[in-house]
């Protein structure tokens, strides 16, 4: 494990909270993700199902968690099924979890081999009225054709037990995962701190004609060295006009003297993810226009992030941020005040230069699960990420911090990542 083992009290508490929200006499079944294959025998690596991880801490493929809080036999209330290893797996892949290790990590007392899942469930299903099953509930172009292990579990379960009631585990996990415990906050702070240190190193090596991927490499080296598992997502290292493509991540261009770089990156530490964006000049000195645009975005970040506090509703916050950006766009000469005053509210003019949302939860997912209709509460951690993109000037600027909402307002977990123009320039030139 690259990270210090997480105390199993986190997962025991998470399961207890989950079970308290299940309706009577139901069984929850949570499955791990698949190891994804690409070509021949090559695999893309493994990324655990985050609901399963949240409830068990198990970071291994072919795992199933079964919760049946109303089971009349005590030993059936919590069962973890894991892959049974053998000599072949040991030679090729190395050690897998023993039952004792899985029990220690998760705090689940009863651990069985996965081949015993169907038979074990059979006797429990006779007694139960329904099942909670996990599902990603997210359909994007890229995922439409992918059948997941969850999909297969849903099909199998419904075919085998057609007359049971079916319920959404995600309804519960989405609600619970939105509020971070102290332990989770500690892990997210660690991810944020690794991001901060990695970014400082990038500022030191940046110079004209460096390739975007060389900066990505510097980032990767530092975050892996610091114990991160991986980037939270494919980092965006976008110089000049590349920064105006919101999800640019080929990172294969040359950073030209006079251009500004937008770097949006996250650190995955112990499966918890930070998400930050900074912009800096290739040559260590912002041009006058870059300074203007950057200062506008920074004012929006400083002002807008104040709204990340208990009681505020996400849609109000987004609207207020849009108003702030609109004002800055007028100051920058990109929009005309009189045209803005006459604009169609359904098609606001600011969208030409600022076309994305400003806050999302972070946690086990970078765009963490949660209901955006729920007002902000203490314990939520959200990004704030205003931006202004001007392709015709070759400038794209976004600034993004991570904020923990508390009773008293918020705490910027990425406060120590240089953001003031003078601090960025000083770091690059000293």
CB of 276 to Mn ion, least distance (A): 6
**C-beta closer to Mn ion: residue 348 or 357:** 357
Q: Dig out the tokens for 32 from the structure.
A: 């791990």
**C-beta closer to ligand GLY: residue 79 or 404:** 404
Residue nearest to ligand GLY (CB): 264
CB of 234 to ligand GLY, least distance (A): 9
Q: Which residues of 261-271 are buried (b: 16+ CB within 10 A; e: fewer)?
A: bbbbbbbbbbb
**C-beta closer to ligand GLY: residue 236 or 260:** 236
Separation between Cα atoms, residue 81 and residue 114, nearest integer Å: 5
CB of 357 to ligand GLY, least distance (A): 8
Nearest-CA neighbor of 265 among 205, 309, 200?
200
Q: Dig out the tokens for 372 from the structure.
A: 């955006």
**C-beta closer to ligand GLY: residue 107 or 266:** 266
- 90 burial (CB, 10 Å; 0-12 / 13-18 / 19+) is exposed
CB of 325 to Mn ion, least distance (A): 16
CB atoms within 10 A of CB 321: 23
Separation between Cα atoms, residue 273 and residue 184, nearest integer Å: 10
Which position among 400, 405, 414, 424 is part of the footprint of ligand GLY (CB under 6 A)?
A: 400
According to the binding rule CB under 6 A, does residue 216 interact with ligand GLY?
Answer: no
* Beta strands, E only, 193-246: 230-231, 236-239
Three-state secondary-structure class, residue 262: strand
Separation between Cα atoms, residue 264 and residue 149, nearest integer Å: 31
CB of 246 to ligand GLY, least distance (A): 8
Q: What is the per-residue binding string for Mn ion in 264-303, x denoting contact by CB under 5 A?
A: x----------x----------------------------
Among Mn ion, ligand GLY, none, partner that 214 touches (CB below 5 to 8 angstroms by kind): none
Separation between Cα atoms, residue 297 and residue 398, nearest integer Å: 7
Q: What is the per-residue binding string for ligand GLY in 108-147, x denoting contact by CB under 6 A?
A: ----------------------------------------
Location of structure tokens 């086990």? 364
Among ligand GLY, Mn ion, none, partner that 233 touches (CB below 5 to 8 angstroms by kind): ligand GLY
Q: What is the per-residue binding string for ligand GLY in 165-204, x denoting contact by CB under 6 A?
A: ----------------------------------------
The 8 Å CB, 24+ separation contacts for 62-66 are: 62/32, 62/114, 63/31, 63/32, 63/102, 63/114, 64/29, 64/30, 64/31, 64/32, 64/114, 64/117, 65/28, 65/29, 65/30, 65/106, 65/108, 66/27, 66/28, 66/29, 66/117, 66/120, 66/121, 66/124
Q: Name which of residues 369 to 388 contact ligand GLY (CB under 6 A).
A: 385
Which position among 3, 213, 233, 372 is part of the footprint of ligand GLY (CB under 6 A)?
A: 233
CB of 386 to ligand GLY, least distance (A): 11
CB of 62 to ligand GLY, least distance (A): 30
According to the binding rule CB under 5 A, does residue 383 interact with Mn ion?
Answer: yes
**C-beta closer to ligand GLY: residue 177 or 360:** 360
Among Mn ion, ligand GLY, none, partner that 218 touches (CB below 5 to 8 angstroms by kind): none
Q: Name which of residues 241 to 280 contact ligand GLY (CB under 6 A).
A: 264, 275
Angle at 332 between CA 328 and CA 334, to 5 degrees: 100
Point out which residues bind ligand GLY (CB under 6 A).
233, 264, 275, 360, 385, 400
Residues making contact with Mn ion (CB under 5 A): 264, 275, 383, 400
């Amino acid at each position: 494990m690259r990270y210090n083992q997480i105390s199993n009290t986190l997962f025991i508490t998470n399961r207890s909270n989950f079970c308290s929200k299940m309706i009577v006499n139901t069984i929850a079944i949570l499955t791990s993700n698949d190891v994804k294959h690409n070509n021949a025998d090559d695999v893309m690596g493994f990324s655990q199902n985050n609901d399963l991880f949240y409830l068990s801490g198990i970071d291994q493929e072919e795992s199933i968690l079964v919760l049946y809080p109303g089971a009349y036999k005590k030993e059936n209330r919590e069962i973890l099924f894991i892959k049974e290893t053998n000599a072949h797996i040991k030679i090729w892949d190395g050690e897998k979890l023993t039952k004792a290790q899985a029990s220690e990590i998760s705090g689940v007392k009863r651990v069985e081999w996965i081949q015993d899942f169907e038979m074990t469930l059979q006797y429990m299903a006779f007694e139960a009225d329904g099942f909670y099953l996990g599902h990603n509930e997210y359909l994007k172009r890229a995922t439409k054709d992918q059948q997941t292990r969850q999909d297969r579990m849903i099909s199998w379960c419904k075919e085998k037990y057609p007359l049971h009631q079916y319920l959404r585990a995600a309804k519960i996990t989405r609600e619970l995962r939105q509020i971070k415990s102290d332990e989770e906050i500690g892990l997210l702070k660690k991810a944020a701190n690794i991001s901060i240190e990695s970014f400082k190193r990038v500022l030191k090596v940046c110079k004209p004609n460096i390739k975007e991927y060389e900066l990505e490499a510097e980032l990767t080296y530092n975050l892996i060295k610091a114990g991160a598992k991986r980037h939270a997502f494919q980092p965006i290292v976008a110089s000049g006009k590349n920064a105006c493509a919101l999800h640019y991540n080929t990172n294969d261009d040359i950073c030209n003297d006079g251009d500004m770089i937008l770097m949006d990156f996250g650190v995955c530490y112990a499966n918890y993810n930070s998400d930050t964006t900074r912009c800096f000049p290739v040559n260590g000195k912002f041009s006058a226009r870059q300074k203007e645009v950057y200062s506008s975005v920074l004012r929006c970040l400083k002002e807008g992030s104040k709204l990340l506090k208990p009681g505020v509703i996400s849609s109000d916050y987004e609207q207020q941020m849009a108003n702030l950006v609109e004002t800055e766009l007028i100051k920058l000469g990109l929009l005309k005040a009189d045209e803005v005053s006459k604009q169609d509210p359904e098609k606001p003019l600011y969208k030409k230069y600022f076309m994305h949302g400003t806050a999302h939860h972070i946690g086990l997912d970078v765009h963490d699960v949660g209901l955006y209709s729920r007002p902000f509460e203490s314990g939520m951690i959200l990004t704030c990420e205003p931006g202004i993109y001007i392709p015709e000037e070759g400038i794209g600027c976004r600034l993004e911090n991570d904020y923990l909402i508390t009773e008293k307002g918020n705490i910027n977990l990425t406060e120590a990542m240089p953001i003031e123009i003078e601090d960025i320039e000083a770091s690059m030139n000293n």
